[in-house]
Copies of this chain bind each other. A is one copy, B any other.
Amino acid sequence: MPSTATVTDLYELTMAQAYLEAGKTGRAVFSLFVRELPKNRNFLVACGLEPLIEALQSFRFREEELRYLKSLGVFKSWFLDYLESYQFRSDLYAIGEGRIVFQNEPLVQVEGTLPEVQIIETVTINAIQYSTLIASKSARCYLASRGKALIDFGLRRAHGFDAGVLGARASYIAGFVGTSNLMAGMKYGVPVFGTMAHSFVMIFEEEEEAFRAFAKSFPDRVLLLIDTYDTIQGAKKAINLMKEGVKVVGVRIDSGDVESLSKQVRELFDREGYGEVKIVVSGGVDEMDIDLWLSKGAPIDIFGVGTRLLTSADAPYLDIAYKLVEYEGKPKMKLSPGKKTFPYKRQVVRHYENHTMLYDEVIPYREGGLVELYCKDGRLIRELPPLKDIRETFMEELSKLPPELKSLEKSVEYKVVVT
């Protein structure tokens, strides 16, 4: 595994050297939280803890990293020695993946000697923010989908390879049934799906010839892309194949007036007695499209959601921060305008009424609540749940979410009392 130690802002290391030099090596607590939810988000889905723990466990300054840092001419040699022996040895408290969370709630809290917990700031924010961003966006798609299936198609336009893989994982947690992304399948066990692109259809002289060639190679997975030339004609060709005995499982529409086309295509198949053929829609889809189409009765069975999902296009970042809240048992808080923090390590206690979330209290830490200890002195002390269990957690959480927060529009803010 490549080291994540230099996926770090320079200032984490300059601060660490100055802390050590000033004798500031007491026990500190940093808290990672979202200050304010983005517009169009009524809740967030905590995600990214497993990738974070993986990154912290490979966070080591090795020869190559130390040589580079030395070459900067900024650091003292005793500090480079410190970095050489650095490894993650702190306590890590977190809210489990798949849980629904809100503003000012500590997704991750890290407690250890000050330089140690400072150094991992950048990696920690990076790992949690993207996964939480995408799980939260995915949850909106899931709410819009009314039980229809969702598949992540976003890898190609995700911001880098990591983003594609982490995004596929996050979307699966928050209700998607799978992804087109093989790396996410291989690394995290996310179910993978996919059949053909327009180029495949274009290679053959006739569209029908392309369909036949695909069916020959994958007789059990015949999902045909029918919009390369003309969607209705494409559907008719799929019907021709079925009449010859080919088992077409579905057709995909990637362009045009999806509402009207899906209705026409559904009618064509039903008229011929092929009610079991699924209609898949893709091409710039987001939760607002899904909601609109389904509200108008478009008979779509599966949505391929790509670019706008894995870039969280309507809200491409969270107002997330990793802040010092406690040092040597004393409270620490920041007073900069718009950037206030709350002191002390914290617990989140959730109150329910009739199995529905009522409000949350963010109180000074004690056991019992959403926040649990995951690492003690750097060692993982709790088994991380398999992805399917995290997905189950998300589903349970969603069933307890107040109905007004399930709206795709911004609703009234959920009450979080910080005491």
The answer to whether A324 touches B68, judged by C-beta atoms less than 8 angstroms apart, is no
Contact among B72, B155, B334 with A122 in the assembled complex (CB-CB below 8 Å) = B155
Chain B, residue nearest A51 (CB) = B160
A residues 189-230 in Cβ contact with B at 8 Å: 192-200, 202-204, 213-214, 216-218, 221, 227-229
Interface flags, A1-39, vs B, CB<8A=1, else 0: 010101111111111011101101000101000000000
What is the CA–CA distance of A369 and B268 in the complex, to the nearest angstrom?
50
CB contacts (< 8 Å) of A218 on chain B: these are 14, 17-18, 74
Chain B, residue nearest A220 (CB) = B74
Judge if A185 is at the interface, Cβ distance under 8 Å.
yes
Contact among B64, B72, B118 with A199 in the assembled complex (CB-CB below 8 Å) = B118
- Which of A125-133, A236-244, A350-358, A398-406 interfaces with chain B? A125-133
Interface flags, A322-349, vs B, CB<8A=1, else 0: 1110010000111111110000000000
Copies in the complex: 2
Judge if A307 is at the interface, Cβ distance under 8 Å.
yes
What is the CA–CA distance of A33 and B111 in the complex, to the nearest angstrom?
48
- Which of A161-169, A373-381, A383-391 interfaces with chain B? A161-169
The answer to whether B162 touches A163, judged by C-beta atoms less than 8 angstroms apart, is yes
CB contacts (< 8 Å) of A192 on chain B: these are 10, 72
- Which of A86-94, A98-106, A310-318, A359-367 interfaces with chain B? A310-318
The answer to whether B9 touches A153, judged by C-beta atoms less than 8 angstroms apart, is yes
Given that A64-B186, A126-B156, A153-B9 are known contacts, is A14 also in contact with B196, CB under 8 Å in the complex?
A: yes
Judge if A287 is at the interface, Cβ distance under 8 Å.
no
Contact-residue size bin, chain A (C-beta under 8 Å from the other chain): 35 or more
The answer to whether A200 touches B15, judged by C-beta atoms less than 8 angstroms apart, is yes
Interface flags, A49-70, vs B, CB<8A=1, else 0: 0000001000000001100110
The answer to whether B165 touches A7, judged by C-beta atoms less than 8 angstroms apart, is yes
Which of A24, A180, A203, A254 has the most chain B CB atoms closer than 10 A to its own CB? A203
Judge if A183 is at the interface, Cβ distance under 8 Å.
yes
A397 → B minimal CB distance (Å): 24
Which of A15, A214, A256, A322 has the most chain B CB atoms closer than 10 A to its own CB? A15
Which of A166, A216, A316 has the most chain B CB atoms closer than 10 A to its own CB? A316
Judge if A158 is at the interface, Cβ distance under 8 Å.
yes
Contact among B133, B156, B157, B335 with A229 in the assembled complex (CB-CB below 8 Å) = B335
Interface residues of A (CB under 8 A from B): 2, 4, 6-15, 17-19, 21-22, 24, 28, 30, 55, 64-65, 68-69, 72, 74, 76, 114, 118, 121-123, 125-126, 129-130, 133, 153, 155-167, 180-183, 185-186, 192-200, 202-204, 213-214, 216-218, 221, 227-229, 254-256, 307-308, 310-313, 316-318, 320, 322-324, 327, 332-339
* CB-defined A-B contacts under 8 Å, sample of 20: A6-B186, A10-B180, A10-B182, A14-B217, A15-B200, A19-B200, A22-B204, A65-B186, A68-B185, A133-B159, A157-B317, A159-B162, A160-B162, A162-B163, A198-B324, A198-B336, A202-B332, A203-B332, A228-B336, A254-B336
